[in-house]
Amino acid sequence: MLTFRAARKEEQKEICELFTDAYMDYDFFIPLENNLDWRWKFIYEVHMLSIKTNIKRRQLFVGEDDGQIIMGFIFQDPEKKQPGFLDYLFAGAVPAIIRSGLSKILLWNSMDEQSEKPIKLLMKNEPHIYYLQDLAVRKDSQKKGYGSRVFKDFLIPYIKNKGGGTLALITNSKKNYNFYCRRGFTCFESSQFMCRNTAIDNWCFRMEIV
């Protein structure tokens, strides 16, 4: 039985490994590093920083099936204070930069800012924007319907119980683009940005929930 709950501090490493494995072949990260070992380490570092920051604000969740963590996701509720620079600093930003390399971190940060710009503008101009920042399913549990159930069984009911709002998210994958279109999301912004001479597609989606 699939259930959802806030992640626990002692699960950080397991969740980060889940995210890292899931994002190894993701379009956003491939141009950052050709060496697979170094790419894995870099993805692990940036996600561990995000996990440590968001778990303190209870915005990191897991989906669990028969006691096993199947998925992890970061879900920003507009009623909660969002992490700022100091939160990331105290979560270990400086050691992460040292281990990953400043130039690579700056490139990743620039890409991240370009990718999230339409969502941040949406959140600034409209109330009740719920942002699904990250969603990853264990590699051995993919294509089994877990991705669909996180929306049906958790995210949509959660927003409905709050009185409704807009669920927003971003993807850089054409496969994911088709997935979200089939599930009733509307693409409100389509763009590209460059990473080391590679064009990366960027699609921003929204769904109105009442």
180 burial via Cβ count (<10 Å: 0-12, 13-18, 19+): buried
Residue-wise pLDDT for 86-123, tens only, equals 888 888 889 999 999 999 999 999 999 999 999 999 99
* pLDDT at residue 80 tops 90: no
Q: Stretch 71-79: mean pLDDT, rounded?
A: 95
187 beta partners: 205
Structure confidence at residue 91 (pLDDT): 83
Residue of higher predicted confidence among 1 and 130: 130
Q: What percent of the chain has pLDDT over 70?
A: 100
The set of residues, in sequence order, having a beta carbon less than 8 Å from that of 35 and lying 6+ positions away, is none
Residue-wise pLDDT for 4-53, tens only, equals 999 999 999 999 999 999 999 999 999 999 999 999 999 999 999 999 99
pTM value is: 0.94
Angle at 70 between CA 65 and CA 74, to 5 degrees: 120
Residue 173 pLDDT level (bands cut at 50, 70, 90): very high
State the total domains in the chain: 1
Structure confidence at residue 88 (pLDDT): 87
* pLDDT at residue 54 tops 90: yes
165 beta partners: 209
* CATH number of the structural domain spanning residue 186: 3.40.630.30
Residue 81 pLDDT level (bands cut at 50, 70, 90): confident
Question: What domain range is 141 assigned to?
Answer: 2-209
